Structure 1
Amino acid sequence: MVVEDDIDGTTHSSYPVVVEDNVYDDINNETDYTEELDDSYPVVVVDYSFTPNVVNHPQDKVLVRVDNATAETLNSPVTTIFLPILYIIVVVVGLPANAMALWVFLFRIKEKHPSAIYMANLALSDVLFAIWIPLKISYHFNGNDWIYGEGLCKVLVGFFYGNMYGSILCIACLSVQRYRVVVDPFSEQNNKVAIGVCVSIWVFIWTTTIPLYQYDHTVRVKGLNITTCHDVTAIWDKNDTFASIKFPYYYFILMSTVVFLIPCIVIVVTYVLMLWHLEKKIVCNVNSTAAKNRHKALVLIATVLVTFLVCFIPSNIMLVIHYYLLSIGETNTGYSFYIITLCLASLNSCLDPFIYYFVSDDFRKHVKNTLLCRSRRTLKRIEYVEKHCRNNKSDGSGNTESSRGGE
């Protein structure tokens, strides 16, 4: 975007002018307040996803003027209608589905195994993120005006990225575990290792989100009379833009490569080897259940693939592009697409329950029983009846064979 700098009459790319606090009350006034500024006032660069901490700056709060294209996006139905509808879907579908999944993993499944442990942690991550989404819905329906303060904005941003990268790591661990089970079904399932891995993931995610709490994410936008949360960024030095965004720049580059790209490669390699092993079993006719396992693996792979194509790949690519452009002082012209991809990333909370469903037979059975409101006592009776019927059936077939042998 191009904004005119009223201080020296020149035109800069993406450089709006800071306005004093005392003009907040007159935000709708048509007076050009920038005419009163002198060279002692800083010039602010507008970006879209991160706001540096300005506590030590002479102006604790500033008004940031954005270009017409950005203003239109912030006022458009894309951000005020489409995005909140997607977030509503996440709350209505993702929150109860993951809450029920978490309950099933913790209280219904008796024999805990590594896959269940990874899926339980994935469900917990989705639940912890989904409970904050109503604030995001209110924010967008309110015309992208954040009214809940800087602290809650940081919490929302922290849980958003924590859920994204925590989910990627859990899915990667689950994929490796599924490969081990397919290749060697009788291998020892070490729950302690799975628990240790999950604890390490949580520690890593909480540690890496600390930088997100070191900067202000709310920005007051001149002319729109709104306070954005994580949608507009102020950079203080137009001559050295990288100095103002180096910490978020390193954070997102690190997370997009180490926590997204590497697990993505691991998942792809794991599923390729899994399919190769199952195909080998089918050709050799070593295992009669190989065809069934292959079908289950294909469904699981398709579910994970959709999750990455919709939620993780677009958002991480746009994050890298966005901060690279910002680091060299260029404007991200794909602002609308960037905002949409970040919203789509939250849909993983709706897709993760399908992963649970296709991975675990126990999960499918217990979800069905939970939806039918069957108690544990009822389940024990059903299991007893089914077992008794199977025994009677086997006894009957055995007696028939004996009688035929006597004939």
Structure 2
Amino acid sequence: MNNSSTCILQPSQISSTALPIIYTLLCIIGLFGNSLSQWVFLTKIGKKTSTHIYLTHLVTANLIVCSAMPFMGFYFWKGFHWNYSNTACKVVNFLGTLSMHVSMFVSLFILSWIAISRYATLMKKECVLDITSCYEKIFYGHLLKRFRQPNFARKVCVYIWGVVIGLIMPVIIYYSVVEVKGDNDKCYNQELEVGHTLSQIAGLIGTTFIGFSFLVVLTSYYSFVSHLRKIRTCTSILEKDLTYHSVKRHLLVIQILLIVCFLPYSIFKPIFYSLHHSNDCEQLNYLVEIKNILTCLASARSSTDPIIFLLLDKTFKKTLHNLIKCDSSHVQSND
């Protein structure tokens, strides 16, 4: 058995061939879909709600992730052949890692805020909300009301970008400059894949935040379901069934996205950090492979968001349908 401190990572066909292909496909699909989504949100939707503001910033984060995918693809394709001193290795590692992590955590923040915003949309409906206590007046009358305000949404998104970049940028710089010294000849090496104390602590904090985001969405969803049960006796419930169904569907889809894309990554990260100290080099290779696959899965969510917008947002769906209809009519008239 090799000691883990001198373990030379050997990428499998999954890392050296499959991941570059997957990242390339995700990049193409994601750039096209998110660019189209951003164009629709910015130019074709007149009255923007708070949800549209959050989605606009979510699409921006998605575009950054998709732009980082070629860097990640090149790293897995050529990383084992590059020397660590190679400029391409350092550029790909720094830009890919920075873009991926900043965008991932901005997306998580915004998904959490969208969940709260959709819950706030429900709570503005005055059905049988007998607001009597001081807590209810503050929570329902003031706090949730702000989540529905577009100006508040814009400020929140700016703060999210500032906080995430301010926290992650120093960690990535320290990781790239100080922790990864390039003692190994290859760009694809243990130091770069595992990191050291600071980056591992930051990774665990990030993992905790993923769990917190999931908890926020889960709480919003079950609070909605609980509230829905209470208002079943309301005489106007039939008139609002479509609104309730829409909000419930939004929250459920966000919850599924977090479970499928982010939860495996967040569960495995602490396991990875606890097991990588093993003296078994073969085990370390397997752990790194799994980590990279789950990271790819987490980033894949950015490419699938336009499909989610099409399924969930009526304004987006209607606008896109009208654009396609107009283009078809224009082509037929030219013929």
Structure 1 residue aligned with 2:165? 206
Instruction: State yes or no: 1:247 paired with 2:207.
Output: no
**Aligned residue pairs, count:** 299
CA distance in 1: counterparts of 2:274 and 2:184, whole angstroms:
24
Going from structure 1 to structure 2, the CA distance change for 1:234 and 1:279 (only over 3 Å counts) comes to: closer
The CA deviation at 1:364 is 1.2
Higher relative contact order (CA 8 A, sep 6+): 2
Instruction: State yes or no: 1:232 paired with 2:190.
Output: yes
Gaps of 5+ in 1: 4-12, 17-45, 47-65, 236-240, 379-407
Contact 1:281 1:290 in 2 (8 A): no
Going from structure 1 to structure 2, the CA distance change for 1:137 and 1:371 (only over 3 Å counts) comes to: farther
Structure 2 residue aligned with 1:305? 255
Which segment is superposed worse, 131-140 or 269-278?
131-140
Identical-pair percentage: 21
Going from structure 1 to structure 2, the CA distance change for 1:345 and 1:261 (only over 3 Å counts) comes to: same
Instruction: State yes or no: 1:104 paired with 2:94.
Output: no
Structure 2 residue aligned with 1:275? 225
Which segment is superposed worse, 299-308 or 203-212?
299-308
1:1-400 map, 5 Å: 2-3=1-2, 13-16=3-6, 46=7, 66=8, 70-71=9-10, 74=11, 76-142=12-78, 144-145=80-81, 148-185=88-125, 189-210=148-169, 211-216=171-176, 219=182, 226-228=186-188, 232-233=190-191, 245-257=196-208, 259-326=209-276, 332=284, 334-373=287-326
CA distance in 2: counterparts of 1:87 and 1:136, whole angstroms:
7
Going from structure 1 to structure 2, the CA distance change for 1:219 and 1:318 (only over 3 Å counts) comes to: farther
CA distance in 1: counterparts of 2:151 and 2:233, whole angstroms:
36
SS in 1 for 2:175: coil
Contact 1:95 1:349 in 2 (8 A): no
SS in 1 for 2:187: strand
Going from structure 1 to structure 2, the CA distance change for 1:283 and 1:94 (only over 3 Å counts) comes to: farther
Give the greater-gyration-radius structure (CA).
1
CA distance in 1: counterparts of 2:94 and 2:241, whole angstroms:
48
User: 1:192-218: per-residue Cα shift (whole Å, max 9, x none)?
Assistant: 211111011000111122211223358
Contact 1:275 1:297 in 2 (8 A): no
The CA deviation at 1:355 is 3.7
Structure 2 residue aligned with 1:27? none
The CA deviation at 1:234 is 6.5
The CA deviation at 1:278 is 2.9
Q: Output the TM-score relative to the length of structure 1.
A: 0.66
The CA deviation at 1:336 is 2.1
Gaps of 5+ in 2: 127-144, 331-335
User: 1:229-262: per-residue Cα shift (whole Å, max 9, x none)?
Assistant: xx63179xxxxx9xx82211221122221x3122
Compare the two structures and name the one with the higher strand fraction. 1
Going from structure 1 to structure 2, the CA distance change for 1:277 and 1:212 (only over 3 Å counts) comes to: same
Which segment is superposed worse, 311-320 or 355-364?
355-364
Contact 1:311 1:344 in 2 (8 A): yes
Q: Output the TM-score relative to the length of structure 2.
A: 0.79
The CA deviation at 1:372 is 3.9
SS in 1 for 2:5: coil
The CA deviation at 1:348 is 1.0
CA distance in 2: counterparts of 1:336 and 1:254, whole angstroms:
22
